[in-house]
């Protein structure tokens, strides 16, 4: 499983708490997020949209297939967003949840979306939870995929190692995309031994202009802000009382029984579903099971 988090310092925990202390909430600078919109051509029902937030080192393209299925099944607009420093969204030095919450809120305002169903995976799940806690009026229902509302300290060093490897690898130029991917794959294999993780990371390689390649990720900012991304301040004195669904991979340890108490405390109207045989990328590994659980939740009253 892709261990995405590392141990963080008490200073990082304290700073995260400060960001979300309700007595001193302030607005943070938002960036304009890149997004994809999926919708049926004949859309007679104007139900609130579904907004999908990807995980760390991912992009909106990770949800491309499910986006189309959701649009057909739910007859809603489906927005998949690139987080800042990911995909085609702007790169910034600032990178933490206060920023990402502001980004999504401004996205909704800019697109005149009064509220919606939020689906967030991993880092995107933390962002979605924080939006629900800080701006409950924007969230009709909340779906959190394989992440809990707690700091994650297991799998300490892998994500840092992966980011370092991507930063240091020599990216070939003036070759075809297949040659570039092949050479990068060979160079990264000693550091990133899991083929699935390696192929996932390579989805961030972009050709622009022709035969010239770079990473879409802002690796420097991601690396420098990993402490913030690994943390979650659940001591903000708020709860989200709207319908909430947590979906976990049975083979993943990001939502275990020890997390159930804090989930129910912060999200009292929540249910937790486990998908057998799935790891951290539940939606990619078991898409049919994932779709059924999401469908049952969205269509329930």
Q: Which comes out higher in pLDDT, residue 156 or 161?
A: 161
pLDDT band at residue 7 under the 50/70/90 scheme: very low
Choose the weakest-confidence range: 86-100, 151-165, 260-274. Answer: 151-165
> Is 220 in the same domain as 243?
no
> Is 162 in the same domain as 148?
no
Q: What is the mean pLDDT of residues 57-76?
A: 94
Instruction: Please report whether residue 2 resides in a domain.
Output: no
> Is 216 in the same domain as 125?
no
Q: What is the mean pLDDT of residues 120-127?
A: 97
Question: Cα Rg for the chain, rounded, in angstroms?
Answer: 19
Report the interhelical angle of 158-168 vs 195-202 (nearest 10°): 50
- The structure's pTM equals 0.88
> Is 49 in the same domain as 120?
yes
> Is 66 in the same domain as 140?
yes
Q: Which of 117, 106, 68, 66 has the alpha carbon at shortest distance from 84?
A: 106
Torsions phi, psi for 273 (to 5 deg): -120, 135
Q: Of 191, 208, 224, which closes a domain?
A: 224
> Is 270 in the same domain as 144?
yes
> Is 178 in the same domain as 292?
no
Please check the confidence at residue 289 and state whether its pLDDT lies above 90.
Answer: yes
Domain that holds residue 268: 10-153+232-299
Per the structure, the count of domains in the chain is 2
> Is 73 in the same domain as 209?
no
Q: Hey, what's the torsion of the CAs at 190, 192, 196, 199, to 10 degrees?
A: -90
> Is 165 in the same domain as 259?
no
Q: Of 182, 203, 224, which closes a domain?
A: 224
Q: How far, in Å, CA of 36 to CA of 20, rounded?
A: 29
Q: In what order do the strands lie in the sheet with 50-53?
A: 35-38, 78-81, 50-53, 116-121, 139-145, 244-249, 270-275
Q: Of 205, 224, 243, which closes a domain?
A: 224
> Is 193 in the same domain as 55?
no
The pLDDT value given to residue 43: 57
Q: Which of 296, 283, 1 has the alpha carbon at shortest distance from 155?
A: 1
Residue pair 273/248 in contact by the 8 Å Cβ criterion: yes
Instruction: Please report whether residue 4 resides in a domain.
Output: no
Residue pair 180/213 in contact by the 8 Å Cβ criterion: yes
Both tokens assigned to 10: 């008490």
> Is 148 in the same domain as 194?
no
């Amino acid at each position: 499983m892709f261990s995405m988090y590392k141990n963080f310092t008490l200073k990082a925990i304290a700073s995260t708490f400060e960001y979300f202390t309700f007595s001193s909430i302030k607005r943070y600078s938002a960036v304009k997020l890149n997004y994809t919109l999926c919708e049926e051509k004949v859309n007679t029902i104007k139900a609130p949209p579904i907004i999908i937030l990807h995980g760390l080192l991912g992009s909106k393209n990770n949800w491309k297939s499910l986006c189309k299925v959701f649009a057909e099944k739910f007859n809603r607009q489906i927005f998949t967003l690139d987080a800042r420093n990911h995909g085609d969204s702007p790169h910034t030095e600032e990178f933490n949840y206060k920023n990402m919450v502001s980004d999504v809120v401004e996205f909704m305002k800019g697109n005149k979306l009064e509220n919606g169903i939020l689906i967030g995976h991993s880092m995107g799940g933390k962002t979605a939870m924080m939006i629900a806690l800080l701006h409950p009026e924007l969230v009709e229902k909340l779906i959190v995929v394989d992440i809990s509302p707690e700091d994650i300290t297991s799998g300490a060093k892998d994500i840092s190692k992966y980011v370092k490897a991507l930063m240091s690898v020599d990216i070939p130029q003036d070759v075809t995309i297949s040659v570039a991917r092949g050479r990068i794959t060979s160079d990264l294999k000693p550091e990133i031994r899991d083929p699935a993780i390696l192929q996932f990371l390579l989805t961030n390689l972009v050709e622009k202009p022709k035969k010239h390649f770079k990473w879409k990720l802002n690796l420097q900012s991601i690396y420098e802000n990993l402490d913030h991304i690994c943390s979650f301040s659940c001591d903000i004195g708020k709860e989200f009382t709207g319908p909430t669904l947590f979906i976990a991979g049975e083979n993943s340890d990001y939502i275990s029984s020890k997390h159930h108490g804090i989930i129910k405390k912060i999200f009292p109207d929540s249910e937790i579903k486990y998908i057998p045989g799935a790891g951290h990328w539940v939606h990619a590994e078991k898409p049919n099971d994932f779709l059924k659980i999401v469908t049952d939740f969205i269509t329930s009253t």
